C-alpha cells in the first residue's frame, strides 16, 4: 500500500531585510483581506505585501507561493496540489486509483479529518469561503488534472467531474457519515471509486 508524503514547500534561507517581528502576522491578516476583496485568482503576492507594508520577498520567505499562503490562511489540512505531480505520474491506467487512495488515506488521519471536515462545511455554508476555495481548486488543482486528460476537448469538464466525485465522496463519508460508505474499508472504496475517476479523467 503506497505511503504518500506531502512535499514540504521550500523556504528561502535568511529573512529579507525589513522583516519586523510581527511581519508574519501582518502578512496573514493582509492575505485574509486581499483574498476576501479580490478572490483567489485576482489576489497577488505584491498586493498582499503592499497591504501588509512589507516587501514581496518577505511574503515568499514566510509562505512560499500564493497557494502556500492561501493554505496557511485557511489552515488547509492537506495539499493535493503539491501531491498531484506524483499522483499523475506513472501508470496512466491507475491514476484514478492513486488519487482516491491518496485522498482517503490522508483523510483517515484524525488530525487531517478534524480540520478537513471544518473546511468542507465552510466550503458549502460560507458565502466568502465557497468562491475562494473554488478559485483555489480550479487554479491549483483542476487545471493540472485537465492537463492529464491530454488534448481532449472536454478536458476541463473531465477534471471538474473528478473534483465533484472526490468532494462528494468526502462529504458523504466524513461529513454526512452515510453508514455504508463511512464503514467501508479504504481498499474497497479505492476499487469501486477509482475506476469512475479514471473514466472521468481518461475514459
Asked if pLDDT for residue 118 goes beyond 60, the answer is yes
* Claim to verify: residue 118 and residue 33 sit in the same structural domain: no
Report d(CA 67, CA 82) in Å as an integer. 10
Q: What's the CA angle centered on 185, arms 97 and 159, to 5 degrees?
A: 30
Statement to judge: residues 159 and 105 lie in one domain:
yes
Is residue 121 scored above 90 in pLDDT? no
**Model confidence over 33-86: pLDDT tens digits?**
888 788 888 889 999 999 999 999 999 999 999 988 988 887 777 888 888 889
Distances (CA, A) of 59 to 5, 52, 189, 191: 25, 9, 40, 42
The answer to whether position 12 is within a domain reads no
Say if residue 4's pLDDT is above 50: no
Contacts 24+ apart (CB under 8 A), 37-43: 39/131, 39/132, 39/135, 40/70, 40/131, 40/132, 40/135, 40/136, 40/139, 41/135, 41/138, 41/139
Owning domain of residue 30:
23-66
CATH of the domain at 131: 1.10.357.10
**Residue 156 and residue 128 in one domain:** yes
Amino acid at each position: 500500500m503506497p505511503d504518500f508524503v506531502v512535499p514540504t514547500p521550500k523556504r528561502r534561507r535568511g529573512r529579507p531585510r525589513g522583516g519586523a517581528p510581527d511581519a508574519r502576522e501582518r502578512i496573514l491578516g493582509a492575505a485574509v483581506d486581499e483574498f476576501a476583496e479580490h478572490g483567489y485568482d485576482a489576489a497577488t503576492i505584491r498586493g498582499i505585501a503592499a497591504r501588509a507594508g512589507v516587501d514581496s520577498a518577505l511574503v515568499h520567505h514566510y509562505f512560499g507561493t500564493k497557494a502556500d499562503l492561501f493554505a496557511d490562511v485557511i489552515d488547509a489540512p492537506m495539499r493535493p496540489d503539491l501531491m498531484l505531480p506524483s499522483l499523475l505520474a506513472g501508470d496512466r491506467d491507475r491514476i484514478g486509483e492513486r488519487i482516491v487512495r491518496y485522498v482517503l488515506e490522508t483523510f483517515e488521519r484524525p488530525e487531517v479529518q478534524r480540520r478537513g471536515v471544518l473546511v468542507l462545511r465552510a466550503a458549502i455554508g460560507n458565502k466568502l469561503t465557497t468562491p475562494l476555495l473554488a478559485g483555489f481548486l480550479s487554479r491549483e488543482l483542476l487545471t493540472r488534472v485537465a492537463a492529464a486528460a491530454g488534448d481532449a476537448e472536454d478536458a476541463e469538464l473531465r477534471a471538474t467531474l473528478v473534483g465533484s466525485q472526490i468532494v462528494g465522496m468526502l462529504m458523504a463519508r466524513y461529513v454526512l457519515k452515510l453508514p455504508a460508505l463511512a464503514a467501508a474499508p479504504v481498499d474497497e472504496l479505492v476499487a469501486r471509486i477509482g475506476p469512475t475517476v479514471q473514466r472521468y479523467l481518461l475514459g
